[in-house]
Structure 1
Amino acid sequence: MAEQYWIGDFFIDVSRNQITKSMQPQVIAPKALAVLTYLAENQGQVVSHDALLSAVWQDTIVSTNTLQRSIAQLRKALGDDGKGQAYIKTHAKQGYSLECEVKWHKDAQPTTWQVSNPSPIQDNHTDAALVSKSPITDVKCMHTVHDEPSEHSHDPHPLSRLKRISLPLMLCIIMLMTIGYFSYTAQQRPTLSFSELRALTATDNKESAGIYSPDGQYIVFHRYSQAYCVNNIWAKNIETQQEFRLTKNLDTFGSHSFSHDGKTLAFIQKIDCSKPITQKKCYKLMSLDFHEAIKSAQSPRQMMECNNSEIRTPRWLNNNAIALLQKTSDRWKLINYSVSDNTTEVIYELTSGNIIYYDYSVADNLFAVTTVHEDGHYYIKILATDGHLISSHRIKKPPGIKSFRFITPNFSPLKEQLVFSTGKQLFTLSYDGEVRQVSLPLDEPMGTPIFHPNGERMLVIKGYYDSDIATKSLSPIAQENDPSIIERSNVGEANAVQQPHGELIAYRSERSGEDQIWLTDGNHSRQLSQFPMDTYIYGIDWSADGQSLLVNANNTLVKVELNSEHHPYVFPFQVRQLFQWDSDAHKALALVRVKGIIEFAELNLTDSTMRILTDKPVYWAVKSDNGTLVYLDHMERFWRSGPIEDTIIDALNNQGSDTYRFVIQNNTLYGVNDDLQLWSYSLAENQFKHIGELPKTLDYLTDINQTQLFMTLRISAKKEVAELLLK
């Protein structure tokens, strides 16, 4: 399909989704522009409805109404009211034809030139400044008048001939200078530089999801009290340092957002469904009168409830609507919720792939959406608020960011650049997918960077998590005793698993400054792995002979030998969570993300293939000694594999938890329910047994042997809101 061409006085740039006339670019939906291009390729001919639908909406079933809407949009952009039909003519019961002369860009260069610039917003200004007119001036449809002199015309003035000769040369020189300038400025993009880090909250609680009020006077954040298991929304006056509790003991989830005038706060409340059908948790979009809540804590008002879908990331738009991400089935879509009409409509979704994250710019009235496509690559898309795609570029990750690592960028004060964090590293992301690292004045993880309205400072959430490895004896005599700590530091230790036929315990630890695999024999500990900065480990398991470990590091499976050698397994998709490794069969149970969708699968480590095991969302899974597969689904129900189909384990109803996991030994399951009660269930005898209570500081179970249970205990967890000041 042609990328650039002229229709009368209109310059069409398909690569930028733009129609430009008289220095005024218009952004057009890609499908509408594809309709125009197909008509242009068949200029003067009647193109049937079916031919247009087949050419533009390949492999997609749409009605003729969709085509009519695209025609209407094109006529509006071309200044055609549809009555005179000077550009696009309707042929009743037949189709449409383009009645204007078409000049393809390769055949007729404009008198001013196009400078290729991958940044879409800058493209708007570039088109307006450089596309002053088409090469066909004074054009009337079907009555074209050219401004070039006839080859038989006589020029009586030698000076005018000299001007004609020198003008192309001058234009070439200017063009080269302009291209060179844009090339240089593209390489010299402004970046961020910070001078200091300043703490804004200093309590023993966990603060998260910090944002600024639109006037920049307040910060608003969640504060969770671990001692009382209570979460509330708080505000703090940055100048006076006075704090205000805005809500009364909420179970809230995720981020929140201010209305444009700063009067109302919107957020998501996540609660147990009273009558769960397709999901155990229900999601409510809530609002809060900010100014009233500053005076005294308020009860929020429900705006919308979702019992069969998940919603997150509310962003209040300039038109007083609220954008949200909504998950139905396996995919996320960006939706618009009308506060006044109490209705929703889809803004943007992918039929293949998935949306990862989005942000909204109040100043530019644009969305920045990060997506993963069918090809497994990640893209940054800039959208208008009606969903029209302005630009789409693959994200070019540098070596410091692993290929499967999700990024969640937010708008920044730098022109056409976003900002995101991977933990200890901060990066900018341009609209054309270029990533650059930013120097930071701190050596601890931080996340969710949000800029102040004046662009001179930025909110971040920083903190630490301290957990220990512990064991609890399965002996009836010791059931009432507290777990025994076997590995302790002032950072996170977790995921302890016992070496088969040996005395070693492998676990994950951050004591060296990064997430690494460590080994202990009960007396001495040593670091086994050498993973790079900002590594995240999602599961470890021993080989059957106890001589190596399979580790999910940065969403990639790596075999780590006891001599510290690393052997990665290459899969064309992201491994989200490793459950179990069958080293003899060279297979692993895991959650994977394929084309943006999370699947529960069995991975073949020999040929890098997989087999999807169920279409249900799965939290945790293991296989018993005799090969029976047991998994916990999103409704916290236990399933076991059978010869024909999987069946629910009725005896374990209400015993599942998406938090504490379960382990298996000698065909017996050991798990923890939401009341922190430890239980066992024999798969062979179908017998359920309550064993005892576990401490409230339990994070999750990790392994079991003949005599003891391994677990991770939470010692302390702290997050706080801080501010990075720009130089």
Structure 2
Amino acid sequence: MAQQYWVGDFFIDLSRNQITHNKQSQTIAPKALAVLTHLAENYGKVVSQDALLANVWQSTVVSPNTLQRSIAQLRKALGDDGKGQTYIKTHAKQGYSLECDVLWHEESDSTRPSKSQVHAAEDVHFREVTSGTETNRRPEISATTLILASIAVGIIMLGILAFQHLAPEQSSQLTFDKIRSITATDDKEFDATYSPDGKYIVFHRYLNKLCVNRLWAKNISTQEEILLTKDWGAYGSHSFSKDGKKIVFLATEACSEPVTQKSCFDLVGLDFEKALENPQQPSIMLQCKNSTVKRPTWLSNNNIALLQRNSNRWKLINYSISDNKSTDLLDLEDGNLIHFAYSDKDDLIAVTSIHNDGQHYIEMLKPDGRIVSSHQIERPQEIARFRPIYPSFSPRDNQLIFSTGRQLFTLSYDGKIDKINLPFADRIHQPEFHPDGKSLLMIKGPYDSDIVLFPLNETSETNAITQANQAKPATETSQTQPKQPQSYVSFERSNLGEDYAIFQPGGNLIAFWSERSGEEQLWVSHGNGPQQLTHFPMDTYIRGIDWAKDGKSLLVNANSILTQVHLDSTQESFPLEHPVVRLFQWDSISNSALLAVRIKGILKFVEYDLNNSKFREITDKNILWALKSEDGRLIYKDHMDQFWQTGPVEPQPIKVLDRQGGRAKSFVINNNKIYAINNENQLWSYDLNNDSFKVLGKVGDDVDYLTDINQTQILMTVQVSAKKEVVELSLRE
């Protein structure tokens, strides 16, 4: 078979996996090119999906979605939007056909073929037809007919151009001119949406810093707030049925007999009309005990779409209420899904995902799983390279909208991003449009956390706890609890977020991140005024910092990229191939780090050699936190809140620490002792050398978690306030 050929005026080079047009080349996945080549070999014929799958994916079992993604990639490369289907035509329940002239090349000349070459190819094709080598015969077209057709096409094109010139142009840019508060309270609200008729705003209001909430509705005309759910619960985001009579959402609770996960997920429903009269108890529709589900969304066919995770991979499923069964809508074999949204108006599902090339894509699907288009997302400089995108639908055609924090953007169905100019500079999240497209709900409000420096001896109990009680779970030692500290003194207080405070090795500095300058930046302080070390761009997020052994620099994970920052603010980035989700620990001597990274969208716990960019996968467990002790033992905590340490053959559980994991993910190791805070607000320690467990004291309810400890002091993150409110932005007419 020839390695080069033409499809119309697109040059296909199989030896380079490239498609070239007007001297512009783009690299295409080999499997997608193999699909195109098989269609080219059967030019003008309908090739079934089974035939394409058998020819391209020989001896490999794949789903039809894999073929559909390849077709979508080819259509994008050929400039075909899939609607007109100029090149690749879909034949319902039959297959695909290539509807364009094919010219095979034996040499590597990629210049556009001359007219004589095209006519020669047409002559060859005509001889094949008349000799019976092609089953679908096409009639010969006279020169006069071609001339008349060309004139007609020219007249039509001129008419289209004239119409476009005279018709008023509709701007694709969204412009907002004012903002108003919907829930101006001291509480924390999330997940706000309009009812389908646009008369109500439904949102979730949380109880203090606890992860329990209730659903509320607000009548837009009367401004009356109405409680919808009778009891407090761990409720997730909600979705309305098409007629607006019912709401579906998730209720999360601790599994009675946890096997694969701590929390079980109940899909529950609420009669909205009844709840407007009196608060209701949600009814259970579906229970998930061994997989995580999120974002239930009611489709127009009365089915519910959800994201479901088994192990570390997400897929989109379609749950039929009437049949009580589910089917897969989208399941990437070598990638992962990030988010999805649904448009009832267009009956379309938009999915953001990470493919096997590590790039982020936007896919448009029909509710039956048919892929309409698949495009790589083209990021502007304002958006960090690895930042996940969580869009919702915009009132503009072929357009979605999403936030990165202080910035708002539109995303087109073909992956193009444009920035929206906003009338304010606060952090905003979860954009959701009104059914009429004239206003937009979002969540706004700062998170204020402080770093406290506290003497270790002030957490000690007045009366020693007996050795027997020390070995018991926290729930069995409640009668011997120490007095809770009355208050904490903040270290370098601001009215915005601070976190990740750690002591400098061999020095008196404390490093931490702070939003006091408007963005998350790395700071150091000795208590008499902080110094800002970094100037990362807008909407930066920091997920882990650690000191070098000599205390002269820090490694910071900012925007999923590792950067070494020296005390004079000079920086050096490590060009890792994969995005870093979390930095746990840095060994500056060997220049290796314990990391959680995403490889083809899948979360992996690895030890990364920063000198040669090589890594070793440690476990396929879902790891919350990990550290190495001073003597080199690896300790990690999994999603079941179980502690593990490396053994001679395999990791060994630390049984005495069962149920001591606490509400926070992290723990600290100092002098071969593990320190953490459990759900009973107890600060405890576990000595790795003699296997002794000890409760050291009790901390306040406002403490989020412990960040570092030395011989005399502890560093903790304390929540001051977490005010979040629902706001409405009005679209400029």
Give the structure-1-normalised TM-score.
0.81
Structure 2 CA distance, aligned partners of 1:364 and 1:310?
28
Deviation string 1:209-236 (CA, Å, 9 cap, x unpaired) is: 0011000000111100207874101000
Aligned residue runs from structure 1 range 589-668, under 5 A? 589-659=594-664, 661-668=666-673
The answer to whether the aligner puts 1:241 opposite 2:241 as a matched pair is: no
Structure 2 residue aligned with 1:572: 577
Deviation string 1:558-581 (CA, Å, 9 cap, x unpaired) is: 111111112111111110011111
Task: Tell me which of 345, 350, 353 is aligned to 1:371.
Answer: 353
Task: Tell me which of 570, 575, 587 is aligned to 2:592.
Answer: 587
Counterpart AA for 1:526: Q
* 1:476 CA displacement: 6.0
Structure 1 CA distance, aligned partners of 2:302 and 2:554?
53
Deviation string 1:599-642 (CA, Å, 9 cap, x unpaired) is: 11111111122111111110011110001110000110000012
8 Å contact kept, 1:636–1:658: no
Structure 2 CA distance, aligned partners of 1:302 and 1:470?
43
Task: Tell me which of 193, 198, 201 is aligned to 1:219.
Answer: 201
The answer to whether the aligner puts 1:60 opposite 2:60 as a matched pair is: yes
Q: What SS does structure 2 have at the residue aligned with 1:268?
A: strand
Give the structure-2-normalised TM-score.
0.80
Deviation string 1:65-124 (CA, Å, 9 cap, x unpaired) is: x99xxxxxxxx97589xxxxxx99xxxxxxxxx9x9x864357xxxxxxxxxxxxxxxxx
Structure 1 CA distance, aligned partners of 2:629 and 2:576?
26
The answer to whether the aligner puts 1:432 opposite 2:428 as a matched pair is: no
The answer to whether the aligner puts 1:495 opposite 2:500 as a matched pair is: yes
* 1:251 CA displacement: 2.4
The answer to whether the aligner puts 1:148 opposite 2:141 as a matched pair is: yes
Aligned residue runs from structure 1 range 103-114, under 5 A? 104-106=100-102
Task: Tell me which of 309, 319, 334 is aligned to 2:316.
Answer: 334
Structure 2 CA distance, aligned partners of 1:476 and 1:690?
13
8 Å contact kept, 2:44–2:99: no
Task: Tell me which of 297, 310, 326 is aligned to 2:279.
Answer: 297
Structure 2 residue aligned with 1:306: 288
Task: Tell me which of 250, 273, 280 is aligned to 2:262.
Answer: 280
The answer to whether the aligner puts 1:259 opposite 2:255 as a matched pair is: no
Counterpart AA for 1:565: T
* 1:63 CA displacement: 10
Structure 2 CA distance, aligned partners of 1:679 and 1:370?
42
Structure 2 CA distance, aligned partners of 1:514 and 1:564?
16
Task: Tell me which of 487, 502, 514 is aligned to 1:509.
Answer: 514
The answer to whether the aligner puts 1:448 opposite 2:430 as a matched pair is: yes
8 Å contact kept, 1:369–1:380: yes
Counterpart AA for 1:387: G
Distance 1:62 1:665, change over 3 A: closer
Counterpart AA for 1:429: L
Deviation string 1:243-271 (CA, Å, 9 cap, x unpaired) is: 01111233234311000000000001111
Structure 1 residue aligned with 2:466: none
8 Å contact kept, 2:43–2:99: no
Counterpart AA for 2:338: I
Aligned residue runs from structure 1 range 386-425, under 5 A? 386-425=368-407
The percentage of aligned residue pairs carrying the same residue is 49
Structure 2 residue aligned with 1:687: 692
Structure 1 CA distance, aligned partners of 2:229 and 2:380?
42
Structure 1 residue aligned with 2:555: 550
Distance 1:56 1:337, change over 3 A: same
Q: What SS does structure 1 have at the residue aligned with 2:446?
A: strand
Structure 2 residue aligned with 1:206: 188
Q: What SS does structure 2 have at the residue aligned with 1:364?
A: coil
* 1:165 CA displacement: 5.3
Distance 1:50 1:195, change over 3 A: closer
Structure 2: gaps (5+ residues): 9-30, 68-88, 104-128, 462-482
Structure 2 CA distance, aligned partners of 1:588 and 1:683?
22
Structure 1 CA distance, aligned partners of 2:310 and 2:164?
43
Structure 1 residue aligned with 2:179: 197
Structure 1 residue aligned with 2:363: 381
Q: What SS does structure 1 have at the residue aligned with 2:729?
A: strand
8 Å contact kept, 1:471–1:708: yes
The answer to whether the aligner puts 1:318 opposite 2:318 as a matched pair is: no
Counterpart AA for 2:402: F
8 Å contact kept, 1:677–1:690: yes
Q: What SS does structure 1 have at the residue aligned with 2:724?
A: strand
Q: What SS does structure 1 have at the residue aligned with 2:723?
A: strand
* 1:485 CA displacement: 2.2
The RMSD of aligned alpha carbons is: 3.5
Distance 1:232 1:46, change over 3 A: closer
Structure 2 CA distance, aligned partners of 1:202 and 1:635?
37
Distance 1:403 1:188, change over 3 A: farther
Distance 1:174 1:508, change over 3 A: same
Structure 2 CA distance, aligned partners of 1:228 and 1:400?
34
Structure 2 residue aligned with 1:95: none
Structure 2 residue aligned with 1:676: 681
8 Å contact kept, 1:250–1:269: no
Structure 2 residue aligned with 1:697: 702
* 1:202 CA displacement: 1.1
Distance 1:465 1:146, change over 3 A: same
Counterpart AA for 1:513: G
* 1:182 CA displacement: 9.1
8 Å contact kept, 1:266–1:288: yes
Structure 1: gaps (5+ residues): 6-30, 68-75, 81-86, 89-97, 108-135, 152-160
Deviates more, 1:354-363 or 1:36-45: 36-45
* 1:484 CA displacement: 3.5
8 Å contact kept, 2:212–2:235: no
Structure 2 CA distance, aligned partners of 1:227 and 1:354?
31
Aligned residue runs from structure 1 range 107-146, under 5 A? 144=137, 146=139
Q: What SS does structure 2 have at the residue aligned with 1:475?
A: helix
8 Å contact kept, 2:235–2:250: yes
Q: What SS does structure 1 have at the residue aligned with 2:615?
A: strand
- What is the aligned residue count? 633
Structure 2 CA distance, aligned partners of 1:409 and 1:46?
36
Structure 2 residue aligned with 1:22: none
Q: What SS does structure 2 have at the residue aligned with 1:386?
A: coil
8 Å contact kept, 2:214–2:235: no
Distance 1:43 1:559, change over 3 A: closer
Structure 1 CA distance, aligned partners of 2:50 and 2:623?
43
Distance 1:229 1:365, change over 3 A: closer
* 1:525 CA displacement: 1.3
Distance 1:604 1:500, change over 3 A: same
Structure 2 CA distance, aligned partners of 1:679 and 1:558?
33
8 Å contact kept, 1:550–1:557: yes
* 1:47 CA displacement: 9.8
8 Å contact kept, 2:44–2:136: no
Q: What SS does structure 2 have at the residue aligned with 1:291?
A: helix
Structure 1 CA distance, aligned partners of 2:330 and 2:676?
41
Structure 2 residue aligned with 1:12: none
Structure 1 CA distance, aligned partners of 2:46 and 2:528?
84
Distance 1:3 1:442, change over 3 A: farther
Deviation string 1:28-81 (CA, Å, 9 cap, x unpaired) is: xxx9999998477348999999975431434522699x99xxxxxxxx97589x
